[in-house]
Structure 1
Amino acid sequence: MSKVRADSRAVQLAVLVPAALVALAVLVLAARWLLGVPAVEAFVDRYPGVATAPETTPVGLPAWLGWQHFLNFFFLVLIVRTGWQIRTTRRPAAYWTRDNRRFVRTRGKPTKISLDAWLHLSLDVLWLLNGLVFAVLVFATGHWVRLVPTSWDVFPNAVSVALQYLSLDWPTENGWVHYNALQLLTYFVTVFVAAPLAAVSGFRMSGAWSKRWKRASSAFPMEVARKIHFPVMIYFVLFVVVHVTLVLATGALRNLNHIYAARDDGSWVGFWIFAGSLVVVVAAWVLARPAFLQPVASLTGKVTRR
């Protein structure tokens, strides 16, 4: 069965990849044609891609945002990895059982989950704590206006930016001063819509959701949570791929300095910090195995092999 399934997936990839490339080529050609239409050209001139922002919008990116960016990337990569393992692994290599003697006693049998699920939930908690710190800082420093649309012209400007991206005649970027309208909408959805949906649906699917919450369980069934959680994961994967691609393709050194070094120049400082962060992420990816996780997981429960 596994060989048949693998062959089926290979055939699907062999069909989907060329089809996706052809569809992308068609979209690029269509966008370039549209930008040559006088009415569309006038629309882009009127809405070049930057939404109206308050005069008090902060200029520049603070150092704490660089740390937040790295931690979010670090946690998100490992959360997606462990989430995919939970979804696809039928026979986990190890299990974790909560030690109720170290915590508040609960009714019923001790919670037993796969070690992948334990790591996934542990990373979720750290990601949520990091998100809470981010929310406090972004509102306390006034940087929230760089992430929240404050004018209706963000929508036509976002359409304009999308057309410019698709035509490969990309708009001028100046993320140090402001994000373009499409970035603004995307970051808003990511921070204030996708992240809360991932957290709420994940909590509903976890063992922390009490079976005694019958009304809440009826109002928010497990099936609904699953239908939300997986598409949100796919959204985050696509967001990271597109985000990294555009960062590297629209002035890599300057963008990496904005993100990691809190400076607006073309030096290599941000690149080396980014490279170091990749080493840390790759090392964590390699070490996220039962042999290395067992000593840590044993601090809060019992780890058993299959």
Structure 2
Amino acid sequence: MDLAGSDFPLWLRAQHLLNFVLMGMLIRSGIEMLSSLPRLWWRNDCAPGTEWLKFTRRELPKEEGVYTSLMDERSVSPLLSLPGRENIGLGRHWHGLSVMFWVLNGIVYAALLFATGLWRRIVPTSWEVFPQAWDSLLMYLSLETPDISHFTPYDSLQMLGYTFVIFVLAPFQMLTGVAMSPAVRSRFPWFVKALGGHQGARSLHFIGLVIFSGFIVMHVSLVLLVHRDHNVIHMVFGGGEVTTARAAQALVIMVATIVAVVVFWIALSYWSLADRARAQRLTTAVTEVGRTIFLDRMRPLGAKKKAYTDRDISRFHWTNGLPPTEDESQLWVQARDNDWQGLTITVRDDINDVEQHLTLEDLRALPRHSYVATHTCMQGWSATSRWTGVRLTDLMDVLGPRPAGARYLMAESYGLAQKMYDNRPREPFYAVIDLETMAEEESILAYERNGHPVDEHLGAPARLRVESNHGYKHVKWVSRIMWIHDYADYGDGRGGTREDSALQAFNGRI
């Protein structure tokens, strides 16, 4: 079978169309993610005033703990972002789904390129391409149009551009994207550090997006400005005779297709906002496949293989959520004002209705574990600290052997959720983790940060630390931790407060 039976075979045109759809979804969901924290840094402590680029006029206070990251979130119209209106979780889900299909489409595209020999039209095979590309660039800058004979079917400048985008920029985006996963950072910290840490990867990823967007704009502009009739006929019909009638027909089809895709993008946003839980179920079902295959296999190196040291500790630490008020938890406020006297953390077996109440002194009497790790929020900020506390495995051992039927560990806070997506009264914040994550060496109940008691705004007197997950799993102001059989029996049944609000998936390793 001759897959390259025309200048632009059907498979090539179909994959270009699919790539157009997916790139739009990637860029739109990327806008949603960036709007959640419209600032970019090179330094990993994300200190206010040190951004190299920001998309907000809001100035942040320099003091820790008086400003939450959600207060910096921006609402973007669904016409521009996916899905829009301050939905970072769904934005991340759509981004992950789009990435999976975009990468798969790219793999098939590259395989067919080499299988059909069409790679020779894109990948230079002679050094002469560079001076020829320079001549083409000068011609474009002088606003002259290269003769059609320069295109066979691409000229040298196009060849270099396509080679760069396909074989350099696309892999670059993949690498900087996965570097922002806490699972990847925990397993391959050297890789993330080589990119400048979480913020370096985030900034580089944004720069790659700008380059990609610029290429798309330039590509489409040249299609319509340089030998338009020839271009649209080949893009729509694959080749053949160039006539005015065929060119007009091809242009109508092309414009109609672009309009249809734009309508699809916008409809996807409004469909998601109409029922966020439904959109979460759909996107989670798809992304869970990739997460299971690639990320769930990655487990942290452990504290003994030091990737981060005290020299990496950040000078500033953002927070998401403010400490409990007296209206939310009188017990926590009174204990705080009395140096935590009288406050206990409940360790419970919810399957057999068995529990113990531990004081802060009881926690300190358990085996002590300390390490340095980088905290990342799904909004994008990060901070590196030394955390000290008791491993979750040692903590739960106070109840004896793990009960039969226990499949998850659930942590609940003295504090309430910042808001409930359906506007019902706010409920205690909680999160669920699986047993394999719970058993990781860097999954602890922390009572110290950087050699001092945990700061009030960061979860005093004790908070959960699950370093292979994003921060929404690191419950602050912990009131109880318990064995459970199925997270479907708690809250709205999705595995945590953020998940119940359709703002994130159960597994926070992406």
After TM superposition, the score normalised by the length of structure 2 is: 0.42
For residues 193 and 131 of structure 1, the distance between their equivalents in structure 2, rounded to whole angstroms, comes to 13
CA distance in 2, matches of 1:207, 1:120: 16
SS of alignment partner, residue 211 of structure 1: helix
- 1:10-45, Cα deviation, whole Å (9 max, x unpaired): xxxxxxxxxxxxxxxxxxxxxxxxxxxxxxxxxxxx
CA distance in 2, matches of 1:207, 1:275: 41
Aligned to 1:236: 212
In 1, the alpha carbon distance for the partners of 2:183 and 2:236 equals: 35
Matched, 1:291 2:273: yes
Which residue is equivalent to 1:161?
136
d(CA) in 2 for partners of 1:293 and 1:138? 40
**Aligned match of 2:238:** 262
Task: Name the residue aligned to 2:46.
Answer: none
Any conservation in 1 of the 2:233–2:250 contact (CA below 8 Å)?
yes
Tell me the residue number matched to 1:277.
257
1:228-287 CA-to-partner distances (Å, cap 9, x unmatched) read 211111111111111111111112232012122212323134323312321232112212
Are 2:252 and 1:252 aligned?
Answer: no
> Partners of 1:175 and 1:284 in 2: how far apart?
36
Which residue in the other structure is 1:87 paired with? 34
Retained in 2: the 8 A contact 1:173–1:180? no
Alpha-carbon distance in 2 for matches of 1:143, 1:258: 15
1:131 equivalent in alignment to 2:106: yes
- For 1:222 and 1:166, the matched residues in 2 are separated by 38
Q: In structure 2, how many angstroms separate the alpha carbons of the residues matched to 1:209 and 1:270?
A: 45
What is the letter of the counterpart of residue 79 of structure 1? L
Cα distance, 1:293 vs structure 2: 6.8
Distance 1:175 1:280 in 2: 33
CA contact (8 A) 1:59 1:177 kept: no
Q: Residue 184 of structure 1 aligns with which residue?
A: 159
Residue in structure 2 matched with residue 212 of structure 1 by the alignment? 187
Tell me the CA shift for residue 210 of structure 1: 5.3
Aligned to 2:434: none
CA distance in 1, matches of 2:146, 2:170: 28
Cα pair distance change 1:84/1:70, threshold 3 Å: same
Q: Which has the higher helix share?
A: 1
Matching of residue 145 in structure 1 with residue 120 in structure 2? yes
Q: Given the alignment of the two structures, is residue 62 of structure 1 paired with residue 9 of structure 2, yes or no?
A: yes
> In structure 2, how many angstroms separate the alpha carbons of the residues matched to 1:138 and 1:293?
40
Judge conservation of contact 1:94–1:304 (CA < 8 Å) in 2.
no
Cα shift readout 1:138-162 (whole Å, capped 9, x = no counterpart): 0100000111011111111111111
- Rate the CA distance shift 1:125–1:293 in 2: closer, same or farther, 3 A: farther
Unaligned runs of 5+ in 2: 37-72, 76-84, 285-493, 504-510
Cα contact 1:261–1:270 (8 A) shared by 2: yes
- Alignment partner of 1:134: what SS? helix
Hey, what does 2:40 align to over in structure 1?
A: none
For 2:169, give the aligned amino acid: A
Tell me the CA shift for residue 61 of structure 1.
Answer: 1.7
Cα distance in 2 for partners of 1:273, 1:119 equals 28
Picking from 11, 19, 25, the partner of 1:72 is 19
SS of 1:114's partner is helix
- Shift in CA distance, 219/166, structure 1 to aligned 2, threshold 3 Å: closer
Q: Distance in 2 between matches of 1:178 and 1:293?
A: 46
Q: Which has the higher strand share?
A: 2
- Greater shift in the superposed pair: 220-229 or 150-159: 220-229
* Alignment of 1:222 onto 2:169: no
Q: Is the 8 Å Cα contact of residues 6 and 239 (structure 2) preserved in structure 1?
A: no
Q: CA deviation at 1:82?
A: 1.5
Q: Distance between the aligned counterparts of 2:133 and 2:143, measured in 1?
A: 15
Deviation track 1:77-128 (CA, whole Å, cap 9, x = no partner) reads 2211221221123157465xxxxxxxxxxxxxxxxx6111111111111111
Query: 1:165 & 1:158 partners in 2: Cα distance?
Result: 11
Q: Contact 1:86/1:117 (CA < 8 Å) preserved in 2?
A: yes
8 Å contact kept, 2:13–2:235: yes
- Give the RMSD, CA atoms, in angstroms: 2.6
Consecutive aligned runs of 4 or more in structure 1 exceeding 6 Å deviation:
none
Contact 2:121/2:152 (8 A) holds in 1: no
1:233–1:148 distance in 2 versus 1, CA, 3 Å:
same
- The offset of 1:218, in angstroms, is 3.6
By relative contact order (CA 8 Å, sep 6+), the higher-ranking structure is 1
CA distance in 2, matches of 1:86, 1:154: 39
Q: Percent identity?
A: 33
Give the distance between the partners of 2:5 and 2:129, measured in 1 at CA: 18
Equivalenced residue count is 233
Cα pair distance change 1:66/1:152, threshold 3 Å: same
**Alpha carbons 1:94, 1:115 under 8 Å: kept:** no
Q: Which amino acid aligns with 2:218?
A: V
What is the TM-score when the length of structure 1 is the normalising length?
0.69
2:179–2:185: 8 Å Cα contact kept in structure 1? no
Matched residue type, 2:10: A
Distance 1:79 1:292, change over 3 A: farther
> Helix, strand or coil for the counterpart of 1:123?
helix
1:206 to partner: Cα distance: 3.5
In structure 1, runs of 5+ residues without a counterpart are 1-56, 96-112
Once the two structures are TM-superposed, the CA of residue 68 in structure 1 deviates from its matched residue by 1.1
